[in-house]
Amino acid sequence: MRGGARTGAGRKPAGHDKKNQRPLYIPDALYESIMEKDIPGCQSFSQKCEVLLNKAIWTEAIVTVQPPRASAGGKLRFIDLFAGIGGIRQGFEDNKTVAVFSSEWDKYAVETYKANYGDVPYGDITKIDAFDIPSHDVLLAGFPCQPFSNIGRREGFAHTTQGTLFFDVLRILKHHMPKMFLLENVAGILSIQDGVAFKTILASLQDIGYNVFWDELDAQNYGLPQVRRRVIIVGFHPDLRVSEFELPKGNQTFRRPVKEILEKNLSGYDISEHLQKSYLYKKDDGKPQLVDENSDIQVKTLVASYHKIQRLTGTFVKDGPTGVRLLSELECKRLMGFPDSFIVPVSRTQMYRQFGNSVAVPMIKAVADAMKAIY
């Protein structure tokens, strides 16, 4: 009896879709991104492509996280990773740009971000597929500084940086290949592991095709009364053909004195007289740094642990009922270059953490303006 067209005839079960071989031409970076994905039951490129294509077609996964806004109107689309309270966005965003995606895991920072931008950032970026992030022209990220020279070898990862949060920046760049990126980090990244980490970062960005430029910049050169050194890394897609780019160093001759941003006769930020005697002035070593309405200096870097009243790293104001107080909310905004109108809906402790973890807004704006001029 012939098999013919009867149900169940032949070697393959009824309803089995016939598969045909078809050529697929994609960039090397996209191929690597696909092969790095851990998809249960899939080992080959073909198997992984089939699963990912089905996911995109049937679940519309590419746009379910946060689709691009209805009309970009020719504006630069950007994404904001490790967004914090939106300091980098504050410096980059203008009437010619539009945010299409943001990510931040800290719930208090999310609260502040939402209050000021109207967007609720998505959570842990390590759990968000690059396919689910909207297309964009610019990637912004203030990624945490982490050592990773041995992580890849120890865990058997496909890339040296895998297992760190920089890897998530890299995988998103590889997948979307935006026209530009701007990354920010602490100056300490230059020396961590004797410079190995930073060299790995630069090499990784260059390996995926970007022309990369960087510099160490200081907030006091951009009109802020604060010494705050940060490393800025900028990258341009090879299509833009940017062979030279100098990050703007600001005005290195003008220094804004801290006295210009201080409030007077404040209460509620007081440091008790007991704590002053028992801790702040326990040694006659010129610490902590104290400022008042006559101070022409630029203060120390505002740190995330400022609320702990640390005598070695903190700057305090000679003012208030007890004679010495913490910096006020408004003074923190001004130290970092945020507008006075910036909304802070969180506790004072969280407020200090958030501003201490953020960026010098005018410095970011100067770099962003130089990038936009090229684009």
Residues labelled as active-site residues: 145
Q: Helix (H, G, I), strand (E, B), or coil: what is residue 35?
A: helix
How far is residue 90's CA from residue 95's CA, in Å, rounded to a whole number? 12
How far is residue 293's CA from residue 12's CA, in Å, rounded to a whole number? 85
Crossing angle of helices 28-36/45-59, nearest 10°?
A: 90
How far is residue 341's CA from residue 66's CA, in Å, rounded to a whole number? 28
Amino acid letter for position 182? L
CB atoms within 10 A of CB 44: 9
Nearest residue to 330 (alpha-carbon basis) of 312, 313, 314, 317: 317
Nearest residue to 174 (alpha-carbon basis) of 152, 149, 205, 198: 205
DSSP bridge partners of 231: 185, 216
Is 210 exposed, middle or buried, given 0-12, 13-18 or 19+ CB atoms closer than 10 A? buried
Following DSSP, what letter does each residue of 87-105 receive, concatenated? HHHHHH--TTEEEEEEB--
Q: Helix (H, G, I), strand (E, B), or coil: what is residue 164?
A: coil
DSSP bridge partners of 103: 122
| 355, 332 contact by CB (below 8 A) | yes
| 104, 126 contact by CB (below 8 A) | no
